Chain A
Amino acid sequence: MYSKQFIKYSLICILLFLSIQQLKAQSTYSVTGKVNTENQEAVPGAMVILKGSSRGVVTDEEGVFELNLPSGDIVLRVSYLGYATVEKTISVPISEPIQIYLKEEGFSMEAFEIVSTGYEELPKERATGSFAQVDNELLNRRISTNLLDRLEDVTPGLVFNRTGGGDPISIRGRSTISANANPLIVIDNFPYDGPLESINPNDVESITVLRDAAAASIWGARAGNGVIVITTKKGQAATKPKFSFNTNTNFIEAPDLFYAPRMEISDFIGVERTLFDRGFYQSREVSIDRQTLSPGVELMIQLRDGIISQGEYDERLAALQSIDTRSELNRHFYQPQINQQHSASLSGGTATHQYVVSLGYDQNRASIVGNKNDRITLSTQNTWNLANDRLTLNLGVYYAQRNNVETTKLPDLFPYDRLADEAGNALPVIQGLSKRYIQGLDNPFLLDWTFVPIEEIGMRNDRQQNTDLRANMALQYKVSKDLKLDLQYQYWQNAANNKEIVSQETFEVRDLINRFTQVEPDGQLSRAIPIGAIYNKSDIFAKSHTVRAQLTYNKKIGKHQVSALGGGELKDWTSNTDRIRYYGYSERFANSENVDYFTRFRTFHNNRLANIPYGGGHSGSIDRFVSAFANASYTYDKKYIFSASARNDASNLFGVRANQRAVPLWSTGLAWILSEEGFYSWVAVPYLKLRGTYGFSGNIDRTVTAFTTASAMQGNFNPVSRLPYAQVLNPPNENLRWEQIQMTNFGLDFESKSGRLSGSFEYYIKNGVDLFGTIPMAPSSGVLTYRGNFASSKTQGLDMIIRGKIVQRAIRWDASLIYNHVRDRVTGYETQASVSNYLAFAGGSDLIFPFEGRPLFSVYSYPWGGLNPDNGNPMGMLDGEPSDNYTAIFNEATPESIIFNGSARPTSVGTVSNNFSYKGFSLSANITYRFGHVFRRSSILYNSLFNGDLGHEDFGNRWRNPGDELSTQVPSMPLGLNANRDNMYRYSEILVERGDHIRLQDVRVSYLFDEIKGFNRLELYAFVNNLGLLWKHTDLPIDPDFRTMRPLKSFAFGVRIDL
């Protein structure tokens, strides 16, 4: 095995060789050499090629070769199956034979894999914990503005959630119920407080995901959800300046508005007609709030009142039936997205100074016309080795500025609104208030009260700017050969400035000004809201300081190797928000006017009392942490590894007793490299390691307190008295504890001969202890729910990755298989929620209702009794018989009696990657799969149809006449609104489908030009994403994981150049 120093040295050497690129053609000299294994054994049959040409020889029985070469610096490329290709630079002429050593490729891969915990970097083989590594090549495979997207499908144990719950990604399933469920993100050794969008993926060298307690517990109370450690690029010692440039353009198709199956527009208008005849719109028609009615219903009113003739009505209705708002929006509002990404960096270094400077620019055109965003990133990192290498100083500064410009807002329209006529002239649509009311107004004082969507394209001026600055300084002092002292400091700040200038030309502002137009006692009109734009401004400024002092000790004596670290950390994070709104704002003259927020005005259209909307507010937060940590590992004879770590975190939790502020957490682990044992003789698998760890990490819920807390509210929210007030946030909870995640992990790493097959298996059991849960309370206590450490959970799973080198000839075929299995159960939850809560949740909302013995995200349904043959009513089951007595069915249903359909989140997720290469050409494809989950599909819901939503296409297949119940399960149309009837159908078992599917996620094609003078590397690449499903269990025409909008296909191409 290799020591850390050796690995570093080797890396440096390789990089050094790679950077030397000059060739000089002169007279030739004979050069001889020998190719050896590391154990000094000769390698016969190895290819020795003069880099950049086709000239080469094969070594003889003794591993010896001879070449005739011109004088100058020459690079030899030596390759042999199962061994890493070596490039060696020689200066011809050369007198003695060259010795070339090849490393067995499999071993080298493991040995070179360095994992970072944010506190230390260690070779993976010396680790007991569970680490998943994503290297630079894998990170760059995908094309995205966002860093996190690049982890998808390539990281065992890390799954992207697509079913709500407030946690877009989770590592080994969700560890908490109601506390923060997001993994901790660590960048360059410090937890990152800023938005991940500010990180340029091109600046990232590698990512390590810490999955078990031994890996993560060094992060203590914040590591309960796992940790993602991001390491940015650094300069290398003794390398020539290297300039890299990468540019790509990604075309993403426009949203497919017709993806979700909807009923025909003519059917929809037919429903409106039926409802109109039943008097359904009577209340809305005369509403004091001047509620809007659709163009069709307005036409029906005109016909009823004799304003238009039957003939005119028929003609105009036919015209309406030919309109589809989705087509109109497609034509006028949507466009394909175009994302461009450019980045350049310069890196290099000498023995005493290494540097990297990089610049990135992203420019994205959004899918809505007139909207766009961009990002500029600038980063620099410098390392100085001083005092004879005893002192290392590292300074890094990262700056990112993101701008989002929104000039167009999507209008909220009826299902059939025409936006422009044949000649392309913009047309008004019904918006805000009823058409009859607006048309009946004849008041020159009022502003135009019509809404013309197309005219408002590009009219807004909403700008969000986010500036993120991170600076860190690290000082390392080698006290002795074995002992190092590290002092690290990070300053971070983020300013989010939102400016929203809504022009007076927009409907939004005209509407508000008109609504607040006042009728004075003398009949004169006045405006409570002045003419001019509305300017909303909000500024969030956050900053943090983090200081860390750490001692690291490494010592190797004979067969004993000890490494230990310990230290303390202090963090202070603050954030302040200020919001303000100006009325009557003039951009031209930069002034605004005061309005009266105190008076309750009579609104013009309905005479209700209302205050002018106030847009101001302030808030501020402070988080502080004081932590102490220690970590030690002991290796004996390179075979047995023991590790232990402990951490204590204390935070400024509010309203808790002093002893509840801190939590100590620990972990321990063992590893055994079986293949190092003398008795080990499995030739086919020369590397085999077993690992086991156990320990705790934690989580924190800052909202729960031991004392009664209240939140202070502004008087603006108090409509009658305008008095500032306070509302109780938390009833006291004296038995407050921190959430703890107890994790046991078993791992096996293996590698076959010549690295043809390698991989690891991990099995884990994760117990959530003292999890925060919300229980219902007796309302007479004054609170409806109560949050406390009521819950526990158990998650078991398997993470697996297998890599294979299937063909290794001129054509190479590499494949890898990732398989994650997660099975989670809520094991303790003191009370049950109501049946309606369980049914409504189904993984769709952020409110979670746990059920003992079931997965946290579960789908439930009512047993289905078919359709009532007399009237097409949906039927459930009551006392074993089909029934449409909904009240009785709902009253008798208990959480135990309803059907548990399964987990809403997939239990098996993974990827099959294949990579083919031939010469410079390579092609890779990711096939992903998700199994073991169910979902509730949508169908026709008459309540929402009657309220004006374009219903599901199942409407066309509804029960109409007795006998239809034999061929359809879609209920008939009811007479009026009936929520129970809709809910019976919506939550019935017939709408639950299995979500299992396999998709062709993406394909990447690239060509690496072998030798072009002046270039170190020149690669052209293309990437196609979201290619579509290969197989799905359900017969529905939709994607089980993307039911409202399918993932949009994208096509990207780009160039990467290293000089």
Chain B
Amino acid sequence: MKKLTYITIVVILSSCADFLDERPNKNIVIPETLDELQALLDASPRGMNESPGVHQISSDDFVTTDNGFTGFRNIIEQNAYIWSEEIFENLGLDWSTPYLQIFYANIVLEGLNNYNSINQDEEERKKVIEGRALFYRAFAYYNLAICFTDHPDNNLNNTTKLGLPLKLSPDINEPIARAELSETFERIIEDLEGAVLYLPENYDFMTRPSKRAAYAMLSRVHLYLKNYQRSLEFADLALGIDDELLDYNNVQTSSLFSFNLENPEIIFFNQMLAYSWNSSTLSFVNPEIYEMYADGDLRKEVFFRNRGFGINFLGNYTGGIFFFTGLANNEVMLNRAECLVRLGEEIQGIEQLNTLLAKRYRVGSFDGIENQQGESLLQLVLKERRKELLFRGIRWADLKRLNTEPGLEQTLRRVVFGTEYVLEPNSPRYVFPIPPQEINQSGIQQNQR
């Protein structure tokens, strides 16, 4: 008997180490392999393909009624709609979601750094994943920059140009401070240029970044920074890979949402964080925009539904209720047209506009733009941009950029329950306050508005 006990104890002790190595939950892993790291980047349901929406509420794409205003279920929406000084209560997804993307990208970059490929195939795959991670990080920083930092050319505010806290490692305890604004954009461009080196030309899944997406994003960033030559170069590179357009003559307007995801224009899929106003039928398109479309312009039917008491926007490239904030050929073409016009290549600029608009008008009703030049041509390009890219999360960046150009400034006005609210051009209220939890926990400097 004692012998048996002895044997039992020896067996137990010697097998202990292995016995306790078993993973407690089959669904839980320490992400280490290339598949596991890629899976982190594919986490769209966690927000990898989402971008801020608070600036869309503040932008002039959108209006609502008093009933619509009180119907906002989130106080952030009310604050943003009337450009209040305070926006967020404690947390704000508009801030934390991009930082979550940055966190995931940094985990992946660190994981790849520790990963030793066993063969050339793996090494190539590793590079592609690295390119994707860099793209996600740059995309997130750009989205944060348009909300939470000033435009670099806004000279009205004499404060130092504050950038974003730049997190480049997954260490959550690393102390952080806000970088300079110029450094922030340098980082965005460096990451995107790094991504270009590794990414495949086109996407396999539209939620994954490609070289085409990195070029399109570089074009967007440089346009915002008013580097028109660079923006043009990258627009050319993106369209060089694929410049197909969706002919709106073939879009069915009988269904509620006009588009679906089988859309050749989509370069990279991204959607706007959902707020309650997304699904309210009292959320209307600014009637000024609705009036801009000429007869024969299919967008008037494809984008909108006139409900009698207001116009709803239903032309999302997501195919559903969510606003599309990814990259698409129509945006790249409009970037290109604007850059060409600004750089004096007016004929080419008009050509580019005509290529796009030909697919937007009813067959036979579009004659093409001719005989436009100079200031009025720039106005026309900007007007086309406004008509094409509404509810795409682009307007806020455009407002900030154009406000820095004399003659192109815009003053925004709103009336809620009889009170008029005004947003002056270059107002500090174009920069959203950072959510209080960030200020309280990391002590970084708040934006003054």
Contact = CB atoms under 8 A, between A and B. Distances in A.
Interface stretch (A614-622, A756-764, A874-882): A614-622
A781 B75 CA distance: 25
Contacts of B422: none
B167 A782 contact: yes
B28 A711 contact: yes
A721 B24 contact: no
Contact of B44 (A720, A732, A976): A720
Interface stretch (A88-96, A327-335, A736-744, A977-985): A977-985
Interface in A692-745: 702, 707-713, 717-721, 723-729, 731-732
A279 B92 CA distance: 31
Contacts of A979: 73, 75
A286 B176 contact: no
Contacts of B45: 713, 717-719, 725, 727
Contact of A777 (B21, B22, B67, B441): B441
B438 interface: yes
Interface string B77-108: 00000000010011110011001101110110
B157 interface: no
25 contacts: A279-B67, A288-B312, A477-B1, A485-B2, A519-B255, A547-B8, A572-B19, A606-B256, A608-B257, A609-B319, A621-B25, A711-B25, A718-B43, A718-B45, A721-B269, A727-B40, A727-B46, A728-B46, A779-B99, A779-B437, A780-B99, A781-B167, A781-B176, A976-B70, A978-B70
Contact of A721 (B23, B176, B206): B206
Nearest to B97: A779
A786 interface: yes
Interface stretch (B123-131, B277-285, B401-409): B277-285
A551 B86 CA distance: 69
Contact of B39 (A621, A654, A724, A782): A724
A289 interface: yes
A779 B104 contact: no
Closest 10 CB pairs of A and B: A782-B103, A607-B256, A778-B442, A779-B96, A976-B70, A620-B26, A726-B39, A778-B441, A781-B172, A725-B42
B435 interface: yes
Interface stretch (B29-37, B55-63, B194-202, B370-378): B29-37
B5 A549 contact: yes
Contacts of B73: 977, 979
Given A786-B172, A980-B75, A708 B269 contact: no
Contact of B167 (A600, A607, A780): A780
Given A485-B5, A727-B46, A780-B165, A280 B67 contact: yes
B68 interface: yes
Contact of A626 (B12, B165, B307, B320): B12
A50 to B, nearest CB: 51
Contacts of B427: none
A485 B1 contact: yes
Given A781-B99, A783-B103, A977 B16 contact: no
Name which of A280, A289, A780 has the most chain B CB atoms within 10 A of its CB.
A780
B119 interface: no
A782 B21 CA distance: 29
Contacts of A622: 22-26
A834 interface: yes
Contacts of B441: 776-778, 831
A652 interface: yes
Interface in A877-896: 887, 891
Interface string B11-23: 0100010011111
Interface in B300-348: 307, 309, 312, 319-321
Given A608-B256, A626-B20, A712 B39 contact: yes
B282 A283 contact: yes
B260 interface: yes
A459 B416 CA distance: 51
A53 B165 CA distance: 93
Contacts of B40: 710, 725-728
A162 interface: no
Nearest to A607: B256
Contacts of B103: 728, 781-783
Contact of B67 (A282, A477, A776): A282
B36 A726 contact: yes
B184 interface: no
Contacts, number: 249
Interface of B: 1-2, 5, 8-9, 12, 16, 19-31, 36, 39-40, 42-46, 49, 66-68, 70-71, 73, 75, 86, 89-92, 95-96, 99-100, 102-104, 106-107, 165, 167, 170, 172-174, 176, 205-208, 255-257, 260-261, 269, 279-282, 307, 309, 312, 319-321, 435, 437-438, 440-442, 444
A347 to B, nearest CB: 30
B206 A710 contact: no
A278 B417 CA distance: 14
B170 A710 contact: no
Given A284-B281, A654-B24, 14 more contacts: A282-B67, A286-B307, A608-B256, A608-B320, A619-B26, A622-B26, A652-B21, A710-B30, A726-B31, A728-B46, A732-B172, A778-B438, A976-B67, A977-B73
B438 A623 contact: no
A570 interface: yes
Contacts of B208: 721
Contacts of B95: 779-780
B170 to A, nearest CB: 7
B39 A725 contact: yes
Contact of B49 (A288, A720, A784): A720
Contact of B43 (A602, A608, A626, A725): A725
Contacts of B19: 570, 572, 624, 626, 652
Nearest to A731: B172
B444 to A, nearest CB: 8
Nearest to B16: A626
A623 B437 contact: no
Contacts of A278: 67
A707 B42 CA distance: 21
B107 A708 contact: yes
Most buried by A among B23, B24, B46: B24
B260 to A, nearest CB: 7
Nearest to B144: A780
Interface string A326-362: 0000000000000000000000000000000000000
Contact of A608 (B165, B172, B321): B321
A320 to B, nearest CB: 25
B29 A621 contact: no
Interface in A584-638: 600, 602, 606-609, 618-624, 626
A289 B441 CA distance: 41
A317 interface: no
Interface in A252-302: 278-280, 282-284, 286-289
Nearest to A608: B320
Contacts of B75: 979-980
B69 to A, nearest CB: 9
A1046 interface: no
B29 A288 contact: no
B207 A720 contact: yes
Nearest to B435: A779
A887 B89 CA distance: 10
Contacts of A836: 89-90
Contacts of B172: 731-732, 777, 781-783, 786
A916 B346 CA distance: 105
| B5, B28, B92, B206 interface centre (most CB from chain A within 10 Å) | B28
A731 to B, nearest CB: 5
A721 B438 contact: no
A485 B8 CA distance: 13
A729 B206 contact: no
B167 A710 contact: no
Nearest to A281: B67
